[in-house]
Structure 1
Amino acid sequence: MAVSRSRDRRRTRRAYVGIVVVALLLFAALSAAWLYLAGRLENEVARQIDRAREEGLSIGCANRDVFGYPFRLGIRCDAVTVDGANGMLRIAGGAIRTAAQLYRPNRIVAEIDGPLLVDTPQAPPVDLRWALTQASATFWREGLDHFALVSDAPVLSLAQPAADRQPLAEAAHTETHVRRREGDLDAAFSATQARLVMPGAPDLPPADLSLDLTVGGAADWLSGRMNGTARERLAGRPITLRSARVDLGASEADLSGTVQFDADGRMSGTLHLSLLGANEIAMLVGQAAPDLASLANTIAAVLPLAGRQENGHTVIDITARNGQLAAGIVPLGTMPRLD
C-alpha cells in the first residue's frame, strides 16, 4: 500500500511538472508570436505613412506605440494629424487607440478622442467634438469588408479665431455602417435627437434621422476606388433606398424605392413617400431648405388627390423620369442634377 501511494504521488508530481512545462512553452510561444507581430505591425504602419508621404499626404502619429500584450495587438498615438499637399487639407485630432484580438486579427476596433479639426481652402474650419466615438473595421480578401462608426453626443461647430467655436448641429447619438455585400455596397446611417443650433437656424424640433440603402456594383468603394465626381461615380448604378426617414414626433416622413442616375446626373425611377402630418412637414422643409419649399408644398397639396391611406399614413407614389417628378399625371417639379 505504501509503495502504491508513493508511486501515485510521483505520477501526480510528474503530471504537475508536465502541465507547468507545457504552460511555459505556450507562454513563450505566445510571447514570441506577439513580439513578431508587433514588429510587423510597426513596420507596416511606418511603410504606409512613408507611402502616403510620397503621394503628398503627411500623416503624424505622436508618440506612436504598439500595445496590447499578450492577447491583443494595436497601435496608439497621443495625437493624429493629416496634412495635404500645398495646404489643401489639414486634419488634427486627439488620441487614437486601435486594437485587434490575436485570434481575430482581421477585425480592428478603435477609440478616438476629440476634438477633430478639419481645415480646407474650400470651406471654413470645422470643429467636431463628442463624448465617445468608437469605430470598427473588418478586412477580408478584397480589403475592407465592413466599417462602423458610433458616436455619443457629437457637436459640429465652426472653428473660430482665438480657439472659439460656433456650434452648427448636434445629436444625442449617431451611427454609420457600410459593408460589402457581394458586388454591392450597403450603407446605413442614423441620428437621434438631431437638431440645428447655428445662429439664425430655423426653429425645428429635434429629429430622429435614418437612412438605409444599397448602391449596386459599388463594393469596390470600400477599397478606395472612388475616382471622379458624385455624378460620375453614381451614373448607371441602381440605388435601392429601403428607407430615408425623418421622425419629428408628431409628424414623420419615410421615402423608399429604386432610382438610377444617368451620365448627366438626372434621376429616374419610382419612389414611395409615406407621410404623417404632411402640411407640417412641408412647412418645416420650407424653413430648413427654402429651395425645396415649392416642391414640398406641391407634394402636400397633391396628397389628398394622389395619395392613399396605409396604417394612418398617407402614401404617394412618385415617378422620376430624367429628373422630372410626377405623382401619376400630376407634375411635382424638377429634381436638381448631381454635380
Structure 2
Amino acid sequence: MASSSRADTSGVTRKLVWLAMAVVVFAALYTGGWFYAASRLKDRLTEALAASQQGMHSASCSGLSVRGFPFRIGIFCDSVGIDDRPTGLSASFGALRSAAQVYRPGHAVIELDGPAQVRVTPDLAFDVNWDLLRASAVAWTDGLDRASVAYDGLKGRFNVPSQALSVGIAATHGEKHLRQSGEALDVAASLDALSLDLGDKVLPPLDVKVDLTIADAAKWMSTEGPPPTAPLGTSAELRGLSLDLGDGKTITLSGPVKIGDDGYVSGALDLTIEGIEAWRDRVSEVFPEAAETAQRVAGAIKGLSGGQDRAVVKLNVQQGTVYLGPFPIAEIPPL
C-alpha cells in the first residue's frame, strides 16, 4: 500500500513539473513573440512615416514607441502631425496614446492630447484644445469598419483673416460616430452646450444632434479615404438634425438632401418646431438685423399651425434657396 501511495505521489509530481515547464516555455515564447511583434511594428511605422515625408500626404510621430506588454499593444507618440499637400491642409496635435488587446489587434482605443492647430492655405486656421479626447476604431486590412470619438471641455477659435472672420467655439461634451452600412455610411454626432463667439456677439448655448446616412460613402472609410471633392455630389437621408434651447424648445429637420457638384444644397425636408415664439425672440435678440425676417417667418409658420406654438411644416430647398410654401425664407451658401 505504501509503495502504491508513493507511486501516485510521484506521478502527480511529474505532472506538476511538466505543467510548470509548459507554463515557463509558453511565457518565454509569448514574451519573445510580443517583443518581436512590437519591434516589427515600430520598424514598419518608422519606415512608413519616413516614406510619407517624400509624398503628397505625410505624417509624423515624434518619440514613437510601442508599449502595452503583456496583454496589450499600442502606439505612443509625444506629438503628432499631418500634412496634406494637395489640399494645403496641415495639422499638429499633442501626445497620442493607443492600445489594442493582443487577441483583438483590429480594435484600438486612442487618447489624444491638445492643443491642436489645423491650417488650410492660404490663411484658414483652427486652434483648439480640450480636457479629454478619446476615440475607438475597428479596422480591417482595407480600412475602418466603424469609428467613434468623444471629447469633453472643447474650446477653440476658427480664423480666416482674409474674410475678416473669427469665430470662437466651445462645448462641454461632443461625440461623433461613423459606421459602414452596406454601401452607405452612417454618421451620428452631438454637441452639448455648444456656444459660438462671433466677436461682437455670443450665441447662447444649445444642444445639437445630427443623424444621417450618406449614400455610396462606405468607401470613404477605406484606406483610400473620401474623394477630394467630398461632400460635393453626394446624397443623404437626414434622419434628424435638432437644435435644443432647453425647456422643450427644439427645432428638428429630417428628409432627403443632396449636395450638387456646385456645392449647393437641395432637398425636401420636414421641419418641426417646438416653441415658435421662443425661437423668434432668440433669433431677434442675437441678430437684430434679422428681427423683421424672423418675425415674418414665425408668423407664417404659426399661421400654418393654426396659431399654435408648435408646428410641422414642409421646406423645399432648391439650389440653396429655402422655400416655405411658395415663399423663399433663407439662403444656404454653397459648401
Alpha-carbon distance in structure 2 between the residues aligned to 1:322 and 1:316: 20
Pick one of 249, 252, 272 that aligns with 1:274: 272
CA–CA distance in structure 2, aligned partners of residues 278 and 137 of structure 1:
40
Per the alignment, do residues 27 and 152 of structure 1 end up closer, same or farther by CA in structure 2, a change over 3 Å counting? same
Q: Structure 1 residues 323, 152: closer, same or farther in 2, change over 3 A? A: closer
Correspondence list, 1:88-103, <5 A? 88-103=88-103
How far has the Cα of 1:12 moved from its partner?
A: 1.8
Counterpart-to-counterpart distance in 2, 1:309 and 1:13: 89
Residue 240 (structure 2) aligns with: 243
Once the two structures are superposed, residues 34-75 of structure 1 have per-residue CA deviations (whole angstroms, 9 ceiling, x without a partner) of 123213311331232133212144533222111111211111
Deviates more, 1:49-58 or 1:171-180: 49-58
Once the two structures are superposed, what CA deviation does each residue of 1:130-168 show, in whole Å capped at 9, x if it has no partner? 111111111125311111111111111369xxxxxx981
The structure-2 alpha-carbon separation of the partners of 1:286 and 1:18, relative to structure 1 and needing over 3 Å to count, comes to farther
1:301-320 matches, within 5 Å, as 301-307=299-305, 313-320=310-317
Matching residue of 1:163: none
Q: Is the aligned partner of 1:215 residue 2:211?
A: no
Partner of 1:162: none
Counterparts of 2:154 and 2:13, CA distance in 1: 60
In structure 2, the residue matched to 1:136 is: 136
CA deviation profile, 1:208-235 (whole Å, cap 9, x unmatched): 11111111001111124433434xx442
Q: Which moved more, 1:290-299 or 1:139-148?
A: 290-299
The CA distance in 2 between the partners of 1:13 and 1:194, in whole Å, is 68
Write out aligned runs for 1:55-204 (5 A): 55-83=55-83, 88-123=88-123, 125-157=125-157, 168-197=168-197, 199-202=199-202, 204=203
- Find the residue that maps to 2:328 and give its secondary structure: strand
Whole-angstrom CA distance in 1 between matches of 2:333 and 2:78: 43
Is the Cα contact below 8 Å between 2:323 and 2:330 reproduced in 1? no
Matched to 1:326, the amino acid is: Y
TM-score of the superposed pair, with normalisation by structure 1: 0.84
User: Of 310, 325, 329, which residue of structure 2 is paired with 1:333?
Assistant: 329
Shift of 1:252: 1.3
User: Partner letter of residue 277 of structure 2?
Assistant: N
Q: Per the alignment, do residues 98 and 205 of structure 1 end up closer, same or farther by CA in structure 2, a change over 3 Å counting?
A: same
Structure 1 counterpart of 2:236, one-letter code: I
- Kindly tell me: are residues 64 and 308 of structure 1, through their superposed partners in 2, closer, same or farther at Cα, counting changes over 3 Å? farther
Inter-CA distance 287–183: structure 2 relative to 1 (3 Å threshold) = farther
Maintained 8 Å contact 2:276/2:310: no
1:77 Cα shift? 1.3
What is the rounded CA distance, in whole Å, between the counterparts of 2:176 and 2:131 in structure 1?
A: 16
Aligned pair in 2 of structure 1 residues 307, 222: CA closer, same or farther (>3 Å)?
Answer: farther
Task: Please list the CA deviations of residues 167-199 of structure 1 after superposition, one character each: whole Å capped at 9, or x if unmatched.
Answer: 812111111111111110111111111212454
What is the CA–CA distance in structure 1 between the aligned matches of 2:225 and 2:278, rounded to whole Å?
41
| Displacement of 1:243 | 0.9
Distance in 2 between the 1:297 and 1:73 partners? Answer: 59
CA distance in 2, matches of 1:271, 1:174: 25
Question: Secondary structure of 1:154's match?
Answer: strand
Verify the 8 A CA contact 1:299 1:332 in the aligned structure 2.
no
| Residues 97 and 111 in structure 2, CA contact (< 8 A), matched pair in contact too | yes
Q: Secondary structure at the match of 2:246?
A: coil
2:321·2:332 contact (CA, 8 Å) conserved in 1?
no
SS class of match (1:105):
coil
Closer/same/farther in 2, CA of residues 127 and 261 from structure 1, 3 Å limit = closer
SS in structure 2 at match of 1:205:
strand
Whole-angstrom CA distance in 2 between matches of 1:48 and 1:287: 53
Preserved contact between residue 295 and residue 332 of structure 1 (Cα < 8 Å): no
Please list the CA deviations of residues 234-263 of structure 1 after superposition, one character each: whole Å capped at 9, or x if unmatched: 42x331111111111132111111122344
Q: Could you tell me how far apart the structure 2 residues matched to 1:117 and 1:38 are?
A: 30
Aligned residue type for 1:186 = D
What percentage of residue pairs aligned between the two structures are identical?
30
Offset from partner CA, 1:253-293 (integer Å, 9 cap, x none): 11111122344444443211111122332343466678987
Aligned CA-pair RMSD: 3.0
